[in-house]
Amino acid sequence: MKSYSGKSIYNGIAIGKIFYYEKEEQIIKKVQIEDENKEITRFRQAKEQAIEELQVLSQKALEEAGEESAAIFEVHAMMLEDDDYIDSVLNMISQEKVNAEYAVHQTGENFSQMFAEMEDEYFKARAIDIKDISERIVSCLLNKQTNKDTWNEPAIILAKDLSPSETVQMDKSKILGFLTELGSVNSHTAILARTMNIPALTGIPAIPELNGKMAVLDGYSGTLIIEPNDEILAEMKKKQQEDIESSRNLQKLKGQETKTLDGRKINLYANIGSVEDVSAVLENDAEGVCFEVNSYILRKILIRQKKSSSMPIAVFLKRWKVRRL
């Protein structure tokens, strides 16, 4: 028996065998080109194809994990329309006379590094999103299909890192939990794990030799236990069952008035930290929201509200009792 400590992304207990997920690395060659217009056209066509694929993923996420997860891929599509990103690719093609694949890859690496070096944890976590959209365009340019599930039974997925696209394309019925070496609690992949109600840890070493081993993922303590003994296994199975019962009981409270046993009304607010949290607030019947974010995030929340509803912004703020911590 061996244990590893990580950081919890989503609480819960997962028990099963580990499947080591290894991403197929894209090999990008730098090729000098003569017809820059041809490469620019290839890039634009690949970008449009990538946006169409993201729309499909957004719909899949909406059906399987809700609006919060679907919004992730809407954000990815918006990133692909970013002027700075597009200009960087086009300038590299026209000035350095390189192929579109290389220009997209290098732009993705440069932008990802820029985000990774930011102090704000939310923006730092966007680094993998930049890589994800860049890899998608490159795949379109190379006419390569994305990875398919290669395991046959429910398993705890262990990977160096997981992009949002990889996560949402997996068969949810075959996922017991997520383990990643890289990533953060603010990543879009972490958001997907939470909205899909899948126990997850980050900071766990992605060791290929763990593939196929029986394990327990404890999202409460942030611990991964490899080949647990009978005593620990029984304890964790009991805790897992208690979780299921607790969740069922909490669901019964949705829609009911929040008040104490002596009849005193209590306002139950949700504390949010990003745009993506708004959908979860609505789904879980909160009576208001508080947030500890910068004005950029607030503007994004209000823009989303304006686009998705006819409710005036002033009414929205009053209705949801938006307060800043």
b/e string for 125-158 if b means 16 or more Cβ within 10 A?
bbbbbbbbbbbbbbbbbeeeeeeeeebeebbbbb
CATH class of this structure's domain 36-142: mainly alpha
One DSSP character per residue, 85-120 reads: HHHHHHHHHHHH-B-HHHHHHHHHHHHHHHHHT-SS
Q: Does the structural domain 2-23+148-251 have CATH classification 3.20.20.70?
A: no
Considering the entire predicted model, what is its pTM?
Answer: 0.70
Residue 301 has pLDDT above 70, yes or no: no
> Do the strands 269-272 and 288-291 form a parallel or antiparallel pair, or are they unpaired?
parallel
What mean pLDDT do residues 189-198 have?
80
Question: What confidence score (pLDDT) does residue 240 get?
Answer: 93
Residue partners of 313: CB distance under 8 A and separation at least 6:
302, 305, 306
In the chain, pLDDT over 90 holds for what percent of residues? Answer: 47
Question: What confidence score (pLDDT) does residue 174 get?
Answer: 92
The predicted-structure confidence for 80-130, as pLDDT tens digits, reads as follows 999 999 999 999 999 999 999 999 999 999 999 998 888 877 778 788 889
Question: What confidence score (pLDDT) does residue 304 get?
Answer: 52
In the chain, pLDDT over 70 holds for what percent of residues? Answer: 84
Q: Per the structure block, which two tokens stand in for 138?
A: 């490159």
b/e string for 192-224 if b means 16 or more Cβ within 10 A?
bbbbbebbbbbbbebeeebeeeebbbbbeebbb
Residue 238 has pLDDT above 90, yes or no: yes
Question: What confidence score (pLDDT) does residue 93 get?
Answer: 97
Of the two residues 50 and 189, the one the predictor is more confident about is 50
Q: Which long-range contacts (CB under 8 A, 24 or more apart) does 84-88 make?
A: 85/111, 86/47
Nearest to 176 by CA among 153, 193, 154, 201: 154
Residue spans in the chain of domains classed CATH 3.50.30.10:
2-23+148-251
The predicted-structure confidence for 9-19, as pLDDT tens digits, reads as follows 989 999 999 99
What mean pLDDT do residues 228-233 have?
95
